[in-house]
Amino acid sequence: MSLPDTILPPLARALAAKGYETLTPVQAAIIEDETAGRDLLVSAQTGSGKTVAFGMAIAPTLLGDAERFTEIGAPLALVIAPTRELALQVQRELDWLYAEAGARTASCVGGMDARTERRALERGAHIVVGTPGRLRDHITRGALDMSALRAVVLDEADEMLDLGFREDLEFILDAAPEDRRTLLFSATVPKPIAQLAKTFQRDALRVAANSAAEQHADIDYKLMLVPAAERENAIINTLLYFEAVNTIVFASTREGVKHLSARLHNRGFDVVTLSGELSQAERTNALQSMRDGRARICVATDVAARGIDLPNLDLVIHADLPTNPDTLLHRSGRTGRAGRKGTCVIIAPMHRRATAQRILKTARLDVTMMAPPSAEEIEARYRESILSADMLTRPVAEDEADFVAQLMARHTPEAIAAAYLRQQLAARPAPEDVSDAPVFDKPGDKDPRTRERFEGGTWFKVSVGRKHKAEPRWLLPMLCKAGGVTKTAIGSIRIFDTESIFEVAAPKADAFAKSIEKNGSGERGVTISAVDGPGERRSGPPPSQRRPPGPVERFDPNAPRPERADRKARYGSSGLRPDDLEAPAATGGWSPAAADEAPRASKPDFDKPRPPKVSKAPVSKDKGKPKWAGKDGAKAKKDHKPKRKPQI
């Protein structure tokens, strides 16, 4: 299929040399006749070829009827990107797209030598690509001449506003000529983007290349639920299971990137990192390592979630859950770009399952559940890849024939095959052990194993309750330690006044019982023992602390309160009810006389008059007299007037 005639010939030749046979939807929409010469507000999914799209869109504005640039001076086009990596990537794309037209490009990004950039601008450039802060700095210093601009492109405009570049963007657009073309590209068009377009564009044409339902159709989304303590093991096994050529693993923080990259490096993976604390040279080297094959895995923060395009990036792993659906889409959009297929694995701890489901539902993605790959599954894939290796199908070369004959003469075929197998397995990292995580048909389904695991479970009791301030958060670790089990083996915990009961899963009940029998008790004298079932529990305080039998008195707020004498007659001299007292002697039952003798907390006697409170006057250190007293010590305090400080 040939490219459309609306593409300028030098650009069409560059596209053909790059292997383009068809255009993506956004590229086809951007070169329609109705878009010629107009301001554009374009919304398209990440990875849809937007750089080539706006490169083709501004070409007629920059070149006119000519096929090559003849003069070089002040820039004719300005492209603004949110991050350094995206800006440098845009420059690389425009370099090959405009190579036939003889265009010269220059970059102005933070983290690079500003003096080198100023010298490049002085030599002249047709297209300048940069980040908002550095471009504003060059404009303020007079190094970037904006007078000849014919087109301004804002790439990933929504991200630039999220990063706080609105003031810089307004400054740059105000400095550009009013008759310029303004092309605004954004994955979404929220209200701030629409307001920016209304302010700085003239009668902009809205171009929506894809609907939300069609986003990321080339990406296979998988949700993997794992125990929180086994998250890193699941990441390692996922990398080994898919064996992707290139992979990006996203973490939420810089510390998380450091920790995860160190763990993967220790396991034998070729890893590079990408985060905001790295210098621009370090970030460029990391991406170049991924492009030339020196590294296969990049552990990154969300700084790599926008615009990064790596060849053969087949797998994206969310080691930490993204904070919102937009971040999820942009992270995942690093794979499945320009028609390629990709896989995205969201690894979520079990306790954050609801959060993961909410983000996926808001993003309107078709997600399938996946269990963490087991060691057996990974080893089976290892053997399959070894059996189907391409090198086994190649014919023996002439320079290899003699040595192959020597090997066959000295060793048996079985010995050679075994050596080859051991060599191949040694070159691959060993998989990690992971628990049997639950697998759901859909993200919203309940765990089918929850009740099965505790069906026929055994109930145990522990000798602490509410009166001992028992709480599940400190009971659970103690029970696991005493019984030698993990927290997944403990089911319901019910706390009562003086004791608590808990359920142990059926497969672990016998081992738990043997462990507590061997250890004797829990921590600090707490005893643990088995019970017949949940019906044995006490539903209230022990009998010795219950109220005596009789009619239950109900409080009537309108009834007159009994006099103190009546209360003494009914409840003893203390005036306290039976349940306010400690348990009396075992045999005598309850009576006012017994209540008077029962131990109780001391209470103040409110009938006894309290002595008046006397304040002490401040005493002078030298004479032992009140400071306000006169020489004879008899002057009244009320007559004393302190000296006022002079008003200044």
Flag whether 577 is in a domain.
no
Q: How far, in Å, CA of 648 to CA of 636, rounded?
A: 31
Q: How confident is the model at residue 316 (pLDDT cuts 50, 70, 90)?
A: very high
> How far is C-alpha 36 from the chain's CA centre?
42
- pLDDT of 605: 54
Checking if the pLDDT of 363 tops 60, the result is yes
pLDDT in tens, 567-598: 555 555 544 454 444 444 444 445 555 545 55
Flag whether 409 is in a domain.
no
Same-domain pairing of 60 and 147: yes
Same-domain pairing of 462 and 353: no
- pLDDT of 171: 93
Sheet order of strands, 205-208 included = 105-108, 127-130, 77-80, 151-154, 181-186, 40-43, 205-208
* Residue 48 and residue 26 in contact, taking contact as beta carbons nearer than 8 Å: yes
Same-domain pairing of 357 and 280: yes
Same-domain pairing of 74 and 49: yes
- pLDDT of 552: 44
Mean pLDDT of the chain: 79
Same-domain pairing of 338 and 296: yes
The CATH number of the domain where 470 resides is what? 3.30.70.330
- pLDDT of 437: 56
Same-domain pairing of 77 and 184: yes
pLDDT in tens, 127-181: 999 999 999 999 999 999 999 999 999 988 887 887 788 899 999 999 999 889 9
- pLDDT of 543: 42
Which residues is 237 bridged to in the sheet?
A: none
pTM: 0.57
Q: How far, in Å, CA of 236 to CA of 373, rounded?
A: 9
List, in order, residues 6 or more apart from 47 with CB less than 8 Å away.
Answer: 309, 333, 334, 336, 337, 338
Q: How confident is the model at residue 553 (pLDDT cuts 50, 70, 90)?
A: very low
Same-domain pairing of 54 and 111: yes
Q: How far, in Å, CA of 422 to CA of 419, rounded?
A: 5
Same-domain pairing of 54 and 143: yes
Flag whether 584 is in a domain.
no
Per mean pLDDT, which range of 279-288, 315-324, 551-560 is the poorest? Answer: 551-560
Give the phi and the psi of residue 331 in degrees, each rounded to 5: -60, -50
Last residue of a domain, one of 355, 374, 393: 374
Q: How many other CB atoms are found less than 10 A from the CB of residue 606?
A: 6
Q: How many other CB atoms are found less than 10 A from the CB of residue 354?
A: 11
Same-domain pairing of 287 and 354: yes
Highest mean pLDDT, choosing among 103-117, 323-337, 508-522: 103-117
Name which residue leads in pLDDT, 640 or 416. Answer: 416
- pLDDT of 536: 45
Q: How far, in Å, CA of 572 to CA of 389, rounded?
A: 94
**Mean pLDDT along residues 66-85:** 89
Q: How confident is the model at residue 550 (pLDDT cuts 50, 70, 90)?
A: very low
Same-domain pairing of 333 and 232: yes
pLDDT in tens, 502-542: 888 888 888 888 888 876 655 667 888 888 544 444 444 44
Same-domain pairing of 169 and 228: no
- pLDDT of 572: 52
Checking if the pLDDT of 417 tops 80, the result is yes
pLDDT in tens, 216-235: 667 899 999 998 888 999 99
Flag whether 17 is in a domain.
yes
Checking if the pLDDT of 38 tops 70, the result is yes
pLDDT in tens, 448-465: 555 556 667 888 888 889
Checking if the pLDDT of 383 tops 80, the result is yes
Domain tally, the chain: 3
Last residue of a domain, one of 521, 536, 551: 536
Same-domain pairing of 204 and 232: no
Checking if the pLDDT of 21 tops 70, the result is yes
Last residue of a domain, one of 502, 520, 536: 536
Q: How far, in Å, CA of 133 to CA of 167, rounded?
A: 10
The CATH number of the domain where 270 resides is what? 3.40.50.300
- pLDDT of 118: 93
pLDDT in tens, 556-565: 555 555 554 4
Flag whether 231 is in a domain.
yes
Residue 240 is inside which H or E element, if any?
A: helix 231-242
Residue 319 belongs to what domain range?
215-374
pLDDT in tens, 175-209: 999 889 999 988 777 788 888 888 888 888 888 87
